[in-house]
């Protein structure tokens, strides 16, 4: 039986671990071929690709690229096009944190987070849109955060980058809609990852007070949201909160 995304190619930045890894597996399970973009070593990305190939029978390949580098992303787009012929789905999941109170934050920490989280998404959208506009179809999914909606103490740089992603999403959605390309964002809340696993019970209890559903989300919850937006052709310019009710617009 034909899978919903069979014949499609999905490009996932930051796809070698965490949410990106979960999204890669979910899209592959739906039949999509997978291009995993890694910031440094491609070894972890290759492991993700191997699982996609063995378990889901799709084509998959890992690439190394600093998404903050415009020319590197442009070159990467050429490599992916040569290997996969096209791209139908782009998931901008690459992101970093360099936390600290704004009054003490180093300039380089602010600049680097903006460069990777926000400019990196612009770079990949710029490269992918050339392909998607010609084929008159495509789905771009930007990974924002509840921090971009309500802010967070010690994350002025991260929150600014994720809020900027929402503005980028809405502007790109308006620009690309006429050619059948959708652009949406996902804003995860507290998701169970390696990062949250090491938090103390006291910190987790404090976090729970802000979550109406009284539990952390799973990476699978975010991955399902990505599949939903990848498949739906009549939703664009929207922010889908996956946060247990933390932010209710």
Catalytic residue among 25, 63, 158, 234: 158
Q: Give, rounded to a whole angstrom, the gap between the first and last alpha carbons of the chain.
A: 39
Residue pair 12/24 in contact by the 8 Å Cβ criterion? yes
| Closest to 95 (Cα-Cα) out of 74, 121, 76 | 121
Helices (H), the chain: 18-29, 43-56, 70-84, 107-114, 120-135, 147-150, 156-176, 194-197, 201-208, 219-231
Scan for tokens 């139908």, then name that residue: 88
Q: How far apart are CA 24 and CA 36, in angstroms?
A: 8
Copy the structure tokens of residue 209: 């007070």
Copy the structure tokens of residue 203: 């910190």
Cα distances (angstroms) measured from residue 35 to each of 9, 86, 97, 163: 7, 11, 24, 26
Copy the structure tokens of residue 189: 């809340």
25 is catalytic: no
Q: Is 159 exposed, middle or buried (0-12, 13-18, 19+ CB in 10 A)?
A: buried
**Residues with catalytic roles:** 158
């Amino acid at each position: 039986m034909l899978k919903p995304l069979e014949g499609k190619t999905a490009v996932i930045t930051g796809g070698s671990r965490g949410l990106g890894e979960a999204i890669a597996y979910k899209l592959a399970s739906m039949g999509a071929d997978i291009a995993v973009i890694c910031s440094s070593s491609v070894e972890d990305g290759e492991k993700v690709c191997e699982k996609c190939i063995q378990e889901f029978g799709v084509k998959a390949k890992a690439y190394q690229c600093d998404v903050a580098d415009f020319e590197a992303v442009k070159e990467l787009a050429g490599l992916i096009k040569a290997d996969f012929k096209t791209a139908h789905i782009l998931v901008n999941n690459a992101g970093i944190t360099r936390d600290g109170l704004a009054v003490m934050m180093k300039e380089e920490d602010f600049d680097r987070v903006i460069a990777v989280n926000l400019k990196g998404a612009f770079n990949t959208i710029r490269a992918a849109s050339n392909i998607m506009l010609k084929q008159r179809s495509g789905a771009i999914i930007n990974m924002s955060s509840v921090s971009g909606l309500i802010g967070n103490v010690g994350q002025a740089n991260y929150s600014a980058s994720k809020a900027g992603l929402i503005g980028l999403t809405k502007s790109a959605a308006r620009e690309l809609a006429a050619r059948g390309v959708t652009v949406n964002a996902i804003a995860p809340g507290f998701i169970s990852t390696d990062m949250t696993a090491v938090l103390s019970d006291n910190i987790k209890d404090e976090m729970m007070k802000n979550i109406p559903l009284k539990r952390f989300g799973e990476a699978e919850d975010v991955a399902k949201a990505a599949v939903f937006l990848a498949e739906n052709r009549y939703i664009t310019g929207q922010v889908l909160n996956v946060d247990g009710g933390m932010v209710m617009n």
